[in-house]
A = this chain, B = another copy of it.
Amino acid sequence: MDFKFLQELIAPAQTKIAMIIMDGLGGLPLEPGGKTELETARTPNLDALAAQSALGLTIPVGPGITPGSGPGHLGIFGYDPIQYEIGRGALEALGVDFELGPDDVAARGNFCSVDAAGLVTDRRAGRIPTDMSKELVKLLRTIRIDGVEFFVETVKEHRFAFVMRGPGLGDALTDTDPQKIGKPALPVQALKPNSEKSAQLANQFIEQACKLLAGKHPANMILLRGFAKFPAMPKYRDIFGLNAAAIAVNGMYRGVARLVGMQVLDVDGTGIADEFATLEKNWNDFDFFYLHVKQTDTAGEAGDFASKVRVIEEVDALMPRLMALKPDVVIVSGDHSSPAVLKSHSWHPVPTLLYSKHVRADGIAEFGERTCARGSLGVLPAKDVMPIALANAQRITKYGA
């Protein structure tokens, strides 16, 4: 079922959909036979909502595939993350809240160490502290070349985002990272004729950077990889007929939401309660809200089971504030799993709850991985959740007579 098919069936309605995404929500028990983070958490509000909802397990990208944050979000947003790939350079720029334009070419940058012969001795420049990186980024920002504008943004430690802006820039470019030490950085090469100009400009930038950084060992050179433009994504308004808002604190999620055409709202503060306050404040102005909770994933990746449980309980305690707004459809899910025992993202399907007054409720009064496995949504691609939500919001008309 492609967007073109769906688009023709979309009808306007006065209904509101709220999607609460706990990043990395899915988990695993600490010991065989035990409970997951979500099953351990005391979640009276989510459990009560589950009783009136259809439950299921979503597969973000495909069976066995562990998604990054970009693809994970595209999935639950309703896009096939394999079809709509976000290049690594574009993701890096999104991650630092850089407003990437449609013609900009972005790349991931590393400071690295080279010896007198120009051979790479450390691909990460000894993971220099972020403060030092920020100073070096200021140096790189002094580079000027006619016909193009460069942007350099510190990410963390040796990492920075690199963006070229100008007319006629293609992104079919090779990486400069030789992937091994003892080799020289590679020149950027164009893989298509439309990228010849980009290749030249990137190489000129690198040449000047090399001169500017000459005395700055261990960060005396740069490597660029993952050149990518912002992918042209169909927008929420066009494919779903939704005036959508995004509530997220971190740049990456704000960037992916912007990519699909959501208006990214300012959050006054960085706490989860601050995000719910933003939801309340803007409730009348949009018909779709995506609210992102980062802390579940942070705890999962840190291997901190108890902390992930606490974050889930915090979200649960805030749920009455959402329900008081009387949303027509509520989705509670994650963009992927991040089990504390694995200390990383994982491929496990994600517990998902879909509430509306028109849903065929499963009558299961517990929101957890094992209850969701018994739910009537089944095990489904994450991208299928949005059409079901739209149907429940009475925003899809009948197909055929």
Per CB-CB distance, the 5 closest pairs between chain A and chain B, nearest first, are A378-B379, A64-B387, A68-B400, A64-B391, A373-B376
Given A26-B360, A64-B386, A64-B396; 10 other pairs, CB 8 A cutoff: A57-B378, A63-B384, A64-B384, A64-B390, A64-B392, A66-B397, A86-B400, A91-B400, A95-B401, A373-B375
Contacts of A349 in B (CB 8 A): 360, 376
Question: Complex Cα distance A86/B400, Å?
Answer: 8
Could you list some 5 contacts between A and B, CB below 8 A? Answer: A1-B62, A62-B384, A66-B396, A66-B397, A377-B379
Residues of the B chain whose Cβ atoms lie less than 8 Å from the Cβ of A377: 379
Whether a CB of chain B sits under 8 angstroms from the CB of A85 is: yes
In the complex, A142 Cα to B258 Cα: how many Å?
61
Nearest Cβ on chain B to A12's Cβ, whole angstroms: 16
CB of A69 within 8 Å of the partner chain? yes
Interface centre among A5, A346, A373, A387 (most CB of B within 10 A): A373
**Copies of the polypeptide in the assembly:** 2
CB distance from A385 to the nearest CB of B (A): 8
Does A319 sit at the interface, judged by CB under 8 A? no
**Binary contact track A49-75/B, C-beta < 8 Å → 1, others 0:** 001100001000111111111110000
> Which residues of chain B have C-beta atoms less than 8 A from A374's C-beta?
373-374
Counting chain A residues whose Cβ lies within 8 A of the other chain, the interface size class is 35 or more
Complex interface bits, A137-150 against B, C-beta within 8 A gives 1, otherwise 0: 00000000000000
Interface residues of A (CB under 8 A from B): 1, 5, 9, 26, 28-29, 32-33, 36, 51-52, 57, 61-71, 81-82, 85-86, 88, 91-92, 95, 342, 344-349, 357-358, 360-363, 369-370, 373-380, 384-392, 396-401
Residue of B at shortest CB range from A360? B348
Closest chain B CB from A250 CB (angstroms): 13
State how many angstroms separate the Cβ of A335 from the closest Cβ of chain B.
Answer: 11
The CA of A81 and the CA of B375, in the complex, are separated in Å by 26
- Tell me whether A398 and B66 are in contact (CB under 8 A): yes
Q: How far is the CA of A380 from the CA of B377 in the complex (A)?
A: 10
Chain B residues within 8 Å of A379, by CB: 376-380
Give the nearest-CB partner of A342 in chain B.
Answer: B358
Quick one: given A362-B373, A376-B349, A378-B379, are A401 and B69 in contact (CB under 8 Å)?
A: yes
| A396 and B85 form a contact (CB under 8 A) | no
Q: Are B64 and A401 in contact (CB under 8 A)?
A: no
Nearest B residue (CB) for A36: B360
* Contact call A360/B65, Cβ cutoff below 8 A: no
Contacts of A378 in B (CB 8 A): 57, 373, 378-379
Highest count of chain B CB atoms <10 Å: which of A63, A88, A390, A397: A63
Residue from A70, A387, A396, A399 with most neighbouring chain B CB atoms (10 Å): A399
Interchain CB contact (< 8 A) of A82 among B1, B68, B81: B1
The reply to whether A361 and B32 form a contact with Cβ atoms under 8 Å apart is yes
Inter-subunit contact B68/A401 (CB<8 Å): yes
Chain B contacts for A65, CB-based, 8 A: 1, 9, 387, 391, 396, 399
Distance from A327 Cβ to chain B, minimum over Cβ atoms (Å): 16
Which B residues lie within 8 Å of A85 (CB)? 400
Docked Cα-Cα span, A380 to B389, in Å, equals: 18
CA distance A62 to B391 in the complex (A): 11
Given the known interface contacts A71-B399, A377-B379, the answer about A391 and B66 at a Cβ–Cβ threshold of 8 Å is yes
